[in-house]
Amino acid sequence: MQIRELGVSGSFEITPRQFGDDRGMFAEWYRFDALEQAVGTALDLRQANMSVSKRGVLRGIHFADVPPGQAKYVTAVRGAVLDFVVDVRVGSPTFGQWDSVLLDEVDRRAVYLSEGLGHAFLALSDDAVVTYLVSDVYRPEREHGVNALDPEIGLKLPIDVDDVLLSPKDEEAPSLAEALAAGILPAWSAPRHEAAPAAKKERE
């Protein structure tokens, strides 16, 4: 597989090698050793989630209190989503910035987000199925959100905003500035999120 660091430190795009024949296809979509070598720390798997979304559903931006936070390994096993990594870590050099990766059933890419990063995705197809491997169980009292339509963040959506579907909770989420003023954003720690020396190189 190939692993490259995204524009937000602590986040990575993973592209697996696919082996196809007349029977179908095989791919290793997750390898703990390859990820650990690139990221510099292992994913301590504690829970696995799945969501099904119709076209236009926008989930996020979600993040958890740090520590312990919740690292995520996300892929789309059916359909397509545009996945967003948003830096909501106070003090980070890329605070407020974001990067995106197309996750679909063609290239079968995945995204890894370290603890403290914000996550969102927009479903580009009906019945888009997304799976998440996460480093901690769901703890509602430690979960927070920032409004994905906050113009200060400025996520670039490939569909009209009037066609976007948000949950009531995500729709009522504070802006980035409001979340900062409320003191709910995680702090950035350089040693915690520092990648391994060779992390920016593609790995086979």
Opening angle at CA 72, ends 71 and 75, nearest 5: 165
Catalytic residue check, 30: no
Handedness of CA 77, 83, 88, 94 (dihedral sign): positive
Catalytic member of 112, 132, 144, 193: 132
Catalytic residue check, 132: yes
Catalytic member of 30, 62, 112, 193: 62
For the annotated catalytic residues, the residue numbers are 62, 132
